[in-house]
Amino acid sequence: MNNVTHIKNDLLKDGYYKIKHDSGLTIIVFPKEDYATSYAVFGTNYGSIDTVIKTSDSENPTSIPEGTAHFLEHKLFESEDLDAFERYAKTGASANAYTSFDKTCYLFSCSENFKESLEILLDFVQNPYFTQQTVQKEQGIIGQEIKMYEDVPDWQVLFNLLKIIYHNHPVRIDIAGTVQSISQITDKVLYDCYNAFYNLNNMVLAVSGNVTTEEVLEVANRLLKPSKDIKIEREVALEPCEVVDNYIEQKLSVSMPLFNLGFKESYDTPQRNLKEQICTRIILEIIAGDTSPLYKELFSQGLINTRFGSEYFAGYGFATVIFAGESKDPNEVSKRIKAEIKKIKQQGINEDEFQRIKKMLYGRAIMGYNDVESIANELVSCHFEGYELFDEIDVFKSITIEDVNQRLTQQLDEDFSALSVILPA
């Protein structure tokens, strides 16, 4: 029998159902009765950084070409008959998919015909169809996509940064791979990867919106095929603390220089826990959020514009704080950010500022529970990272200024920083 758990939050007076389905798949349903739309995400814990297959069924790891996860995502939509997009057109659903560094997700949103659209999702993801002929055709299509992204400034400024920050971690490679790497992909490679990573025990289905658990289970019970529980061992690349280089630049067609300033983080475990992530978000808002003294100063002097921002770029085996934006003088902005970090580290974070930023981010988090797309995508991420959706609220409540100041000592080391710049051609 399917094992159902109801996870609720008293503050929000809301909750969701988590089901360990007999097939091996985890299904999460967050009903929103008053909403007009529904949103579903079917995800696998497999992304571009997974360039090796190592399962509990295999003695030795098998290397796979870079870009295979993204290639497989493209190919899954095809079948011997209608492709998935043509099928969705008949239900009126809007469908898409994406491959990130650590996961691949297939999704749709709809305002009607939910069950029919869910049937399509569960059907095509579970029924791969690859031939060497169709693989060769796709190599040409994705090869053109890779070349196109070579001229996209926002894409290049990030991956140039990752290449000078990471020595060995596959996060330094474009999600789509290279023209050379995808030329090594065959139909056998795709089936091998599919059979390993698309095992239902390595996947999750998250649904939110105007749906019921009963509706979802009725479709799941009919269409899900039982999977053998194969454990997948994700490899951690051996990565030194030091960056490869401190600076890289490239010339492309931009009206104003772009920059990404990254601070590489060292760690003892492959993944950053939720408390570490939230501490970092608070730190970044204090240093460079749009209400910070640094932001106001740089903006008033014309050194940044509204595109300026920061993020904690972290996943399995990698973690980097990135400040990004446009500037007529990226080196000066980099210098000012480093000076502000040094000053805040010396002085420590002010209690009043900490409380203000904490309340602001907490409020944003609460607002996120009103968006069905955000809910479903977060449920997928939470599942793969090993925590529950409402855990974020508890962490915000318990976090202290001591926690944040302690976290600040572990991050943003100028010795492990690098600057990537795109200059006008």
Distance CA 307, CA 257 (A): 12
Exposure of 127 in the CB half-sphere (CA atoms within 13 A): 15
Helix residue ranges per DSSP H, 127-248: 132-149, 153-165, 179-182, 187-197, 213-223
Distance CA 354, CA 139 (A): 50
Distance CA 40, CA 107 (A): 5
**Which residues, at least 6 apart from 28, have a Cβ–Cβ distance to it below 8 Å?**
16, 17, 18, 19, 204, 205, 206, 207, 379, 383
Which sign does the torsion angle of CA 181, 269, 289, 295 carry? Answer: negative
Exposure of 194 in the CB half-sphere (CA atoms within 13 A): 20
Query: Which of the following is catalytic: 33, 66, 73, 326?
Result: 73
**Residue 322 CB neighbour total at 10 angstroms:** 19
Exposure of 312 in the CB half-sphere (CA atoms within 13 A): 20
Backbone torsions φ then ψ of 186, nearest 5 degrees: -125, 170
Please confirm, yes or no, whether 73 is among the known catalytic residues: yes
Token duo for residue 169: 């971690």
Measured in whole angstroms, the distance separating CA 235 from the mean position of its chain's CA atoms is: 18
Residue pair 325/334 in contact (Cβ under 8 Å)? The answer is no
Strand 94-99 to strand 104-110: parallel, antiparallel, or no bridges (unpaired)?
antiparallel
Distance CA 321, CA 264 (A): 7
Give the catalytic positions in this structure: 73
